Chains A and B, each alone.
Chain A
Amino acid sequence: MTERDADLELVRRVQRGDKRAFELLVAKYQRRISRLLSRMIRDPSDIEDVTQEAFIKAYRALPNFRGDSAFYTWLYRIAINTAKNHFAAQGRRAPTVVSNDIEDQEDGEDSIRLSDTATPDSLYQSKQVGLAVNRAIDQLPADLRTAIVLRELEGLSYDEIAAAMNCPVGTVRSRIFRAREAIAQELRPLLGTSNDERW
């Protein structure tokens, strides 16, 4: 199975009545959708409102989702349309979305060509996150760092990483798991999550 298949399995569970599976999809894609919409909508409270509306629309439309495209691609389209409706309701015109940007989402690229409406606060937050990530990566042992970078940035499969690092797949799995846990621990104070909070 692939990561796309993992998403589809969650969708399948939602279609059988398990809302918790949809909440996991929300947890996974909330930030990307918010980031996408932040390039179209300036007001942070509006961004949250439209993001929420996009996810609820996606939930309601899930019976119509056949899996012909990746879940994120489908969700991305819903988010764009929700934002356009938001602008229409306000009597404003939405920024232009170039259609082939949607296909870029298959690769996880947020390469949409829209004006960036970053605020000073979001820029500061972004910078702090970037520093924390660099710190977390630098503190990792080399083999863990290599494994997580090959996975998250290069998109290599476990088999490919094993070949690149000349180690068994099981070792790759362990290294990626440990690297993720270590980086998550470093990011926790920045994101305001404690051991007891939900994310």
Chain B
Amino acid sequence: MNSGPAPQSAPPEPGADVERLCAWFDGELDDAAAGPVLDRLLRDRALQQRYARWSMVGDALRSSEVLAGHSPQLCARISQALADEPALLAPAALRPALKRHLASGFAVAAAAAVLVLVAVPQLRGSAPGGEAPALVSSVPVHPDMAAARPARDPRLDPYLQAHRDFMGSGVMPAAAVYLRSGSEGER
């Protein structure tokens, strides 16, 4: 391999470390343990050879035809071609799982906020005024939603006003709020 510092060729260590690599190979290692395992894999040539052999085993078990396509010289050719390529620097390209979870959590929290802000005053029968109602702290909120709930965002006011205007003329205002809020939450 030609990128970065030369990988170490330490003799393979049987036992827990290699088993952890095997588990990582199957996607069965928790995230906290995966980082150090991957760090070591990328430095250790012997571990890289093991990783490659395990890939072959899987291909062989699933299809002898696939494994028959194994070509050590092809891997070497691709490595050589890669050496001529510039190193990539796109650290933000892949959407991290955390951002995806936060995005979905925010959507849930926003939907919950809409329910609290719009549905509760309607259920209480209060006539909506020109201002958005304050959050009602007595409405129970799921702890996860409560932890992720953002502060009241004034940019939601036109949206909420539109809901109130709609509710003023609806046949089943309470039910419609839940249905509409549910669809908004899916976005």
> Which A residues are closer than 8 A to B by beta carbons?
1-6, 8-24, 26-32, 34-35, 38, 48, 51-52, 55-56, 59-60, 62-68, 108, 110, 118, 122, 125-130, 132-133, 137, 148-149, 151-153, 157-158, 173-174, 176-177, 180, 183-184, 187-188, 191-193, 197-199
Contact = CB atoms under 8 A, between A and B. Distances in A.
Chain A residues touching B, majority SS = helix
Interface in B4-45: 4, 7, 18-19, 22-31, 34, 38, 41-42, 45
A69 B164 CA distance: 40
Contact of A64 (B25, B38, B93): B93
Given A18-B42, A60-B85, 19 more contacts: A3-B25, A3-B26, A8-B94, A19-B3, A20-B1, A28-B55, A30-B70, A48-B77, A56-B78, A110-B66, A132-B60, A152-B57, A152-B62, A173-B23, A177-B18, A180-B22, A180-B53, A191-B67, A198-B76
A27 B52 contact: yes
Contacts of B65: 35, 118, 122, 126
A80 to B, nearest CB: 16
B94 A66 contact: yes
Chain B residues touching A, majority SS = helix
Given A1-B30, A133-B60, A173-B23, A20 B4 contact: yes
A62 B90 contact: yes
Interface of B: 1-4, 7, 18-19, 22-31, 34, 38, 41-42, 45, 48-49, 51-79, 81-83, 85, 87-91, 93-95, 97
B69 A34 contact: yes
A139 B72 CA distance: 26
27 contacts: A5-B97, A13-B38, A13-B42, A14-B88, A15-B94, A24-B42, A30-B74, A31-B67, A31-B71, A32-B59, A32-B66, A48-B77, A64-B93, A65-B94, A122-B68, A126-B65, A133-B61, A152-B57, A152-B62, A177-B22, A183-B60, A184-B57, A192-B72, A198-B45, A198-B72, A198-B76, A199-B53
